[in-house]
Chains A and B, each alone.
Chain A
């Protein structure tokens, strides 16, 4: 064990070029012109892909006359904070204080995301690294379920929710996402592809039980994937409105309040954008945190075996 560790360290030192230092082994790289073209291509593509984000931010700072100007302008000329300043007034008319919605959204998103990651990755580990009969059948079922269009499932699901008494409770936010198949599929692919059996065997010989192996060996090894999954799950739960399943105002979450503001027509379109921009901040924060951790974990995880 210690042997492997020290070997790992020496190799890590030789390949420290993740941070741009020179590699011990020559890799075939592009010419300078090729590099330049590549960067230009990526930045252009990236800007194209960022357009709606930029548009949202610009529009949220536009005064009313610029919102209605002809010909339409993409960028803002005389930025104003008016659209943001008016938000407290708009919110003041809500029956339940805004803080309640924020609390609901934040708590629900975080709790659900963390439980889901745990549930999905445990299942993924079980499917990819166990040998009991039927695990393949389960995996194919998961994949095929991913392909059944969710649209026609809404009615049977609604009946099930109502049978289980989930309607109009917090459970309607937390439990249904647990059935999401994407995380299990993603985790299974990753664990099967990148967690070597030898690593697990070594831990088992040391006397660790399956759960301990999962928690202290598998989870650290697959950090990039659960951080990515964190991103997807948080974003989905943060944005999703459980239409027609919540009736009590004090159980509602932020996206439902946002639709009330965006329903205000053209005059409110600036404020609607301001709210959209504010709503984007938490997923962006989660993105930044998870991506910086991915970069960190990868720079030290060159060696796995």
Chain B
């Protein structure tokens, strides 16, 4: 997928001597300026992201309570997680179920919406974009769902249903296992839309008119063919971006779960790995164990990323 540009250069029919001189020039005029431009980010990235990640991987092999210094226990955390801790198994299952439903749904929804919205004139498009981006603007907007699904008759949904006589007793939505997962998934879809949706919009705007024109000449017959043979291939880079963002947000969701269902939720129905991790790190001061969990979660996400890469590749051309 990531073509190496040097491969193209080497394939050119140039005498080898000339090539060597070319490559020294290239070093001075191309590589070095490029590396200078990359440097600021790379330095910050290394100091504030890579170093903490590495130390957190090291910590995952230790027992560390944040007060006394970490003690190496090697694979003990991992053994405990997989063999002993049944809560971890439950949260891992919840995380997977949640991610497998919410991730692809969010991905498809954000693309379909962007595809529809992009067809409108600029002004209409801006208004519709604003509507779908709105949840990300209201900082912690999930509180409205807390009011809506509140278990007493003050809750909007309960009071609405009761005023029409559909139910007589308020339903404890957020305390009933069967309702929890669907509710959390809907709230997640609704909240995670912003980034994917807007990046899709900006990608679609760059699928140029002449590509559609060329397609029409080449015998594209309907909108579905246009989508399949022009829009999707041209949107590849943005689709990959939005897929990665969905993986990231669906696997590491925990705030909406803790805020809406509490921790632990009824019957551990919607506790994710990150919820458990937060609990381990902030309440029980078992940072080593929490780090081990985040390493396992990371491996799960990397696996998901590789699968998604394979799937998306099928739509290239």
The answer to whether A302 touches B209 (Cβ under 8 A) is: yes
Interface set, chain B 205-235, CB cutoff 8 A to A: 205-206, 208-210, 212-213, 216, 220-223, 226, 234
Q: Which residues of A contact B116 (CB under 8 A)?
A: 38, 42
Nearest neighbor of B224 in chain A, beta-carbon distance? A28
On whether A122 and B37 interact (CB within 8 A), knowing A46-B131, A55-B144, the answer reads yes
Partner of B40 from A122, A182, A231, A299 at Cβ < 8 Å: A122
Interface set, chain A 215-235, CB cutoff 8 A to B: 224-225, 227-228, 231-232, 235
Partner of A224 from B35, B42, B55, B202 at Cβ < 8 Å: B202
Q: Complex formed: what's the CA distance from A70 to B301 in Å?
A: 45
On whether A11 and B210 interact (CB within 8 A), knowing A179-B47, A181-B45, A299-B122, the answer reads yes
Partner of B147 from A72, A129, A214 at Cβ < 8 Å: A72
Q: Which residues of A contact B143 (CB under 8 A)?
A: 52
The answer to whether B134 touches A126 (Cβ under 8 A) is: no
Q: Complex formed: what's the CA distance from A220 to B56 in Å?
A: 40
Does residue A94 face the partner (Cβ distance < 8 Å to B)?
Answer: no
Nearest neighbor of B189 in chain A, beta-carbon distance? A49
Chain A min CB distance to B143 (Å): 8
The answer to whether B48 touches A157 (Cβ under 8 A) is: yes
Q: Complex formed: what's the CA distance from A185 to B239 in Å?
A: 12
For B186-215 the 0/1 string (1 means CB < 8 A from A) is 000010011100110111011011101100
Q: Which residues of B contact A48 (CB under 8 A)?
A: 190
On whether A147 and B216 interact (CB within 8 A), knowing A28-B223, A235-B136, the answer reads no
The answer to whether A190 touches B131 (Cβ under 8 A) is: no
The answer to whether A151 touches B278 (Cβ under 8 A) is: yes
On whether A152 and B277 interact (CB within 8 A), knowing A74-B156, A143-B244, A302-B208, the answer reads yes
Q: Complex formed: what's the CA distance from A210 to B193 in Å?
A: 36
The answer to whether B216 touches A27 (Cβ under 8 A) is: yes
The answer to whether B122 touches A287 (Cβ under 8 A) is: no
On whether A190 and B202 interact (CB within 8 A), knowing A152-B294, A185-B244, the answer reads yes
Does residue A136 face the partner (Cβ distance < 8 Å to B)?
Answer: yes
The answer to whether A122 touches B238 (Cβ under 8 A) is: no
Q: Which residues of A contact B5 (CB under 8 A)?
A: 129-131
| One of A17-25, A83-91, A103-111, A244-252 at the interface | A17-25
On chain B, the number of residues with a Cβ less than 8 Å from chain A's Cβ atoms is 109
On whether A20 and B128 interact (CB within 8 A), knowing A152-B56, A276-B138, A287-B137, the answer reads no
Best-surrounded residue of B162, B221, B241 (most CB of chain A within 10 A): B241
Partner of B129 from A26, A139, A276, A291 at Cβ < 8 Å: A291
Interface of A: prevailing SS: helix
Q: Which residues of B contact A50 (CB under 8 A)?
A: 131, 134
Interface set, chain A 14-70, CB cutoff 8 A to B: 15, 18-20, 25-30, 38, 42, 45-53, 55-56, 70
For B174-194 the 0/1 string (1 means CB < 8 A from A) is 000000000000000010011
Chain A min CB distance to B141 (Å): 4
Interface set, chain A 142-171, CB cutoff 8 A to B: 142-149, 151-153, 155-157, 160, 164
Q: Complex formed: what's the CA distance from A284 to B133 in Å?
A: 10
On whether A122 and B302 interact (CB within 8 A), knowing A186-B199, A193-B236, the answer reads no
On whether A211 and B37 interact (CB within 8 A), knowing A50-B131, A176-B48, the answer reads yes
The answer to whether A228 touches B137 (Cβ under 8 A) is: no
Q: Which residues of B contact A303 (CB under 8 A)?
A: 208, 210
Partner of B252 from A29, A149, A225 at Cβ < 8 Å: A149
Q: Complex formed: what's the CA distance from A224 to B208 in Å?
A: 14
Q: Which residues of B contact A74 (CB under 8 A)?
A: 156
| One of B12-20, B26-34, B79-87, B262-270 at the interface | B26-34
Q: Which residues of B contact A209 (CB under 8 A)?
A: 29, 33
Partner of A52 from B31, B48, B138, B221 at Cβ < 8 Å: B138
Q: Complex formed: what's the CA distance from A209 to B134 in Å?
A: 41
Interface set, chain B 117-163, CB cutoff 8 A to A: 117, 121-123, 125-126, 128-139, 141, 143-144, 147, 153-156, 159, 162-163
Q: Complex formed: what's the CA distance from A294 to B117 in Å?
A: 14
For A273-288 the 0/1 string (1 means CB < 8 A from B) is 0001001100110011
The answer to whether A147 touches B35 (Cβ under 8 A) is: no
Best-surrounded residue of A18, A48, A123, A175 (most CB of chain B within 10 A): A123
The answer to whether A42 touches B117 (Cβ under 8 A) is: yes
Chosen A-B contacts, 16 in total, with CB atoms closer than 8 Å, are: A30-B223, A48-B190, A50-B134, A52-B135, A71-B159, A71-B162, A130-B30, A131-B4, A138-B42, A144-B305, A149-B252, A153-B52, A190-B238, A225-B199, A288-B130, A298-B122
Known: A25-B213, A42-B116, A228-B201. 13 other contacts (CB 8 A): A28-B221, A45-B131, A72-B155, A126-B38, A129-B5, A129-B34, A131-B4, A144-B305, A146-B248, A156-B52, A175-B44, A184-B41, A186-B241
B-contacting residues of A (Cβ < 8 Å)? 11, 15, 18-20, 25-30, 38, 42, 45-53, 55-56, 70-72, 74, 119-120, 122-123, 125-127, 129-132, 136, 138-139, 141-149, 151-153, 155-157, 160, 164, 175-176, 178-179, 181-182, 184-186, 189-190, 192-194, 209-211, 214, 224-225, 227-228, 231-232, 235, 239, 255, 276, 279-280, 283-284, 287-288, 291-292, 294-296, 298-299, 302-304
